Amino acid sequence: MNLRVSNRGEAMPASPIRKLVPYAEAAKKRGTKVYHLNIGQPDIETPAAVLDAVRHSDFKVLEYSHSAGNESYRRKLVSYYESVGVHVNHQQIIITTGGSEAILFGFMACLDPGDEVIIPEPFYANYNGFAVAAGVNVVPVTSHIENGFALPPIADFEKVITPKTKAIVICNPNNPTGYLYSKAELESLKEIVLKHNLYLFSDEAYREFSYTGELMSVMHLQGADDHLVVMDTISKRYSACGARLGALVTKNQAVLDAVMKFAQARLSPPSFAQIAGEAAIDLPADYFTGAKEEYQRRRDLLVRRLNAMEGVYCPNPGGAFYAMAKLPIDDSDKFCQWLLESFEHNGQTVMLAPATGFYGTPGLGKQEVRLAYVLNLEAIDKAMDCLEAALKVYPGKQ
Amino acid sequence: MNLRVSNRGEAMPASPIRKLVPYAEAAKKRGTKVYHLNIGQPDIETPAAVLDAVRHSDFKVLEYSHSAGNESYRRKLVSYYESVGVHVNHQQIIITTGGSEAILFGFMACLDPGDEVIIPEPFYANYNGFAVAAGVNVVPVTSHIENGFALPPIADFEKVITPKTKAIVICNPNNPTGYLYSKAELESLKEIVLKHNLYLFSDEAYREFSYTGELMSVMHLQGADDHLVVMDTISKRYSACGARLGALVTKNQAVLDAVMKFAQARLSPPSFAQIAGEAAIDLPADYFTGAKEEYQRRRDLLVRRLNAMEGVYCPNPGGAFYAMAKLPIDDSDKFCQWLLESFEHNGQTVMLAPATGFYGTPGLGKQEVRLAYVLNLEAIDKAMDCLEAALKVYPGKQ
C-alpha cells in the first residue's frame, strides 16, 4: 500500500502561472525570445545602497534575530510608517519572511479551520494556497472589468456573510487588477467589518505604486484599530523580492500575541534581508518618485497599446504594476499556452497570466489575462507587437 | 464585542525557553553577567568564506529564486549529500526557509488535521508549534535519562499507534538530549513504519555533530524510500542560524509534488542565504573536524563538571551540542527562573532551559534541564561554577 499525501496536500492549488513555465522553457529552447509579462518580478534594479548594506556588513556570526525581527529594524520601520501616515510603535510590527508569511500568520492566528474569508475576485492566487494551509474557505465576491474592478457593492458582501465569516481580505493597490481602492471604498469596508465584527486584512505590497490618487492604507481608517491587520513586504517597494522580508502590522494586541507564537516557532526572519530592509528606510525620499514615474510610463504605453487592439479592453490601473485586459478569445489558459507553444512573431512571443487563476468562481476570467508591466518600455512595446499579431491569427479568436 | 483570535492561535504554545527572557534581561540590567546555555545559538564563527560569498555577490536585482531553490544550489547539495552517503538527485531536494519550514511543509503535505504523529520525548519544543499550525496531534513516547535517552522500545510505539497515526518524528542527533540513534535503532524504526505504513520524518539539523559513532541519516535505510523524509538546515552545520536556509529531502515523488505547492505559495526561499549555502558546500572537508573537536571539548568539560556535582546526573551525549542533566531540584521551571531572578555568584549566573518544555506528557522533566554547550570552554567552566554554587543554596533543593 502506498503512502498517501494529506488531503490538504492534494487540495493545495498548484500555481496557476507556473504551470505554463515548461511551455516557456520549451519556447526558449526552440530559440524564441519570450517577454515575461506573467509574473511580478520587476526588472528595476534593487537600490545599490540596499545591496551594499549587506555587502559591507561586518559581523562574525550569522545569528538568529529576535523572532519579531531586529528591534533596530522595527524601530526604523516606525519612521517609514509615519511617512505614509500610519502611526504604530515597534511592538505593533512583527517582521516576517516575505509578505507571504505575514498572510499565513494572519490567517493562522485569526482564523480556524472551516472559517470563511471574503475576498473580492479576481485576487492574488496564492491567497488560495494560504487558505488551504490554514484550512480556511475563500468566499469570492466578484468585481468586474467593466468598471475597472472597483470594490463590489457592499450588498454583495452582505449577501455572503455567514456566522463563519471572520475576515475580508483586500489587496490595495490590487494585484492582479491594479485597482486602487478609494477612501470611500475603504470607509465602506470599515463599516461592514465593524457591523459584523470581522477582521480586515489588507495586503499593501504595492502601497507606493499609486498613480491616480493619494497613497492609502487601511491603517488610516479611524475607530477600527482592532479590526485592521496589514500584510506588508519590501519585495516590490524596493525591487527586493528575493530578500523575503515582510511585516505584519496591527494594533490588535491579541493578534500580535498570537502571531508572535507562530513567529517564535520558526525562530526568526532572515538576517541578511533585515540588513537590507534597514538600509532601504534610509533611501532618499525621492526614490519612489523615480520608480513610480518609470512604472507609470510603462502603464501608459501598455494600456494604450492594448486598447488600440481590435476587441481588446484594458481599464487604466490606478496602482501596482499590473493590468487586466479582456481579449477576444475563447479561453485564456489555452491562449497563453498557445502563445508559448504554437506562436511566434519575428522569433518572439509573450508570456501572460491567464486570469482564470485569479478568480474563485469557476468559469470566470476565461477572456481575461493579467499583464505585469515589469519590463522596460522597449520590451513592452515589442511584447504588445507580439500580442497584436497573435490575436490576428489565434484559432480560438472570438 | 471584541474580536477573537483563532482557537489555533490560542492553542499555539508560547516558546518555553523565551518566556524566561524577561528575567534574563532584568538580571543583566542589575549588572549580573548571564551565561546563555539556554539556546542553540552557537558562538562558533560562521566560516568567512560563507559570509564573503554574500559580501562579494554581484547582481543588480535581488530576484525571487525558483520556488524549490536555485537549481545551482540544489545541484551542489547533491554532492554534499553524496559526501554523507545520501544518494539523491537535485529534484529530490526542496530548499526551505530554515529547517523550520521543512518541518512545517512536511507536516502540511503529509498530515491532515486530526492525524497523529508519534515523537519520542523529550523533543524539540517547536514540533508542538508546527503540529498546532497543521492541526496535528503529537503523541509522545517517553525516553529516559537513565539510559541516556535511547530510543524507547518498539513496543511503546506499537502501544500508541492508532488508525490516525501517520508519522514518527525523530531528531538525530537529538535536540534536546544529544542522543545519537544507532543503526539498529533506525532499523527498528524502519520496520515499524513499513509495518504500519507511516512516514518517518527525520530532523537531521545536527548530522555532522556526532562524537561517538558514525554519522547516520535515515536515508541510509534500505527499502523504505517512500517513507523517509529528511528535514535539514544549514543553521548549526555552518553556524549560520540567521540565514534561514534548510531543505526537505525525500525520494517520495508524491510528497515532493505536494510540498512543491506549499513552496510555490510562498514564492521562494531567501536569495542571500542561498548564496551563503552554496559557498558552504565548497568549504574544505576538514571544516567539520575543527568545529566538532571544539564541541567535543566543550561537551567533555560540561559533562565532567555536571557529574561531579552532588546529586546531578548527566548522560554523555553522542551528538549535537546539547546535554540533559537531572538536578536535585523541585521544579526546573522555578529553578531556572530563580537562577535569573534571585541568584548570583560573583556577579554571574547561568540561563538554562527547563526540560518540562520538551516533554509532551505533563509533569515530566521537572528535575531536568537542557544545557547547550554553545559557549567557549572558559565560559562553560564559569557557568558550571554558578550552577554548582546555585545548587547549594537553592531553596527548592531536594
Sheet with B137-142: strands ordered across: B93-96, B246-250, B228-233, B199-203, B165-171, B116-121, B137-142
CATH 3.30.590.10 fits B61-281, yes or no: no
Pull the grid cell for residue A7.
Answer: 488531503
Lowest mean pLDDT among A88-92, A322-326, B281-285: B281-285
Counting one residue from chain A and one from chain B, the pairs whose CB atoms sit within 8 A come to: 261
The 10s digit of each residue's pLDDT in A345-394 is 999 999 999 999 999 999 999 999 999 999 999 999 999 999 999 999 99
The alpha carbon of residue A40 is apart from the nearest alpha carbon of chain B, in Å, by: 10
The position carrying cell 494604450 is A304
B62 and A241 within 8 Å at the Cβ level: the answer is: yes
Q: Which residues of A touch B64 (CB under 8 A)?
A: 39, 41, 241-242
- Span A280-288, mean pLDDT? 92
Question: Confidence band (pLDDT; 50, 70, 90) for A1?
Answer: low
Q: Which residues are CB-contacts of B209 (< 8 A; sequence separation ≥ 6)? A: B173, B236, B291, B292, B295, B319, B320, B321
Query: Options 3.40.630.30, 3.40.920.10, 3.30.110.30, 3.40.640.10; which CATH number does A49-281 get?
Result: 3.40.640.10
In this structure, are residues A90 and A77 in contact, taking their beta carbons and an 8 Å threshold? yes
pLDDT reported for residue A216: 86
Cα B211 from Cα A225, distance rounded (Å): 54
pLDDT reported for residue A17: 80
Q: Which residues of B touch A98 (CB under 8 A)?
A: 266-267
Q: Closest to A3 (Cβ–Cβ): which among B1, B104, B252? A: B252
Cα B355 from Cα A110, distance rounded (Å): 30
A266 and B104 within 8 Å at the Cβ level: the answer is: yes
Pull the grid cell for residue B348.
Answer: 554571574
Q: Closest to B226 (Cβ–Cβ): which among A2, A56, A61? A: A2
Q: Which residue of B has its CA nearest to A257?
A: B9
Q: Which residue of B has its CA nearest to A267?
A: B100
A114 by Cβ neighbours in 10 Å (0-12 / 13-18 / 19+) ranks as exposed
For chain A, the domains span: 7-45+287-393, 49-281
Q: Closest to A109 (Cβ–Cβ): which among B5, B50, B261? A: B5
Q: Which residue of B has its CA nearest to A273?
A: B272
B255 and A5 within 8 Å at the Cβ level: the answer is: yes
Q: Closest to A61 (Cβ–Cβ): which among B46, B55, B276? A: B46
Alpha helices in chain B (DSSP H): 7-11, 21-29, 48-55, 71-83, 98-110, 126-134, 154-160, 183-196, 253-265, 271-281, 287-307, 332-341, 377-393
Indicate the length of chain A as a whole number.
Answer: 398
The alpha carbon of residue A392 is apart from the nearest alpha carbon of chain B, in Å, by: 34
* DSSP label at residue B322: E
CATH superfamily of A7-45+287-393: Aspartate Aminotransferase, domain 1 (3.90.1150.10)
Residue A341 has pLDDT above 80, yes or no: yes
Cα A208 from Cα A205, distance rounded (Å): 8
Alpha helices in A65-211 (DSSP H): 71-83, 98-110, 126-134, 154-160, 183-196
Long-range contacts of B394-398 (CB under 8 A, 24+ apart): B394/B329, B394/B335, B394/B338, B394/B343, B395/B338, B396/B329, B396/B330, B396/B331, B396/B334, B396/B335, B396/B338, B397/B328, B397/B329, B397/B330, B398/B328, B398/B329, B398/B330, B398/B367
The alpha carbon of residue B349 is apart from the nearest alpha carbon of chain A, in Å, by: 22
Cα A307 from Cα A323, distance rounded (Å): 12
* DSSP label at residue B175: T
A243 and B272 within 8 Å at the Cβ level: the answer is: yes
Per-residue pLDDT tens listing for chain B (398 residues):
578 999 999 999 988 787 898 999 999 999 999 999 998 888 899 999 999 999 999 999 999 999 999 999 999 999 999 999 999 999 999 999 999 999 999 999 999 999 999 999 999 999 999 999 999 999 999 999 999 999 999 999 999 999 999 999 999 999 999 999 999 999 999 999 999 999 999 999 999 999 976 778 999 999 999 999 999 999 999 999 999 999 999 999 999 999 999 999 999 999 999 999 999 999 998 898 888 999 999 999 999 999 999 999 999 999 999 999 999 999 999 999 999 999 999 999 999 999 999 999 999 999 999 999 999 999 999 999 999 999 999 999 99
A44 and B55 within 8 Å at the Cβ level: the answer is: no
pLDDT reported for residue B102: 98
A241 and B130 within 8 Å at the Cβ level: the answer is: no
Model-level ipTM above the cut of 0.90: yes
Q: Which residues of B touch A265 (CB under 8 A)?
A: 12, 15, 100, 126, 129-130, 133
Work out whether the CA dihedral A36, A37, A38, A44 comes out positive or negative: positive
3-state secondary structure A223-268: CCHHHEEEEEECCCCCCCHHHCCEEEEECCHHHHHHHHHHHHHCCC
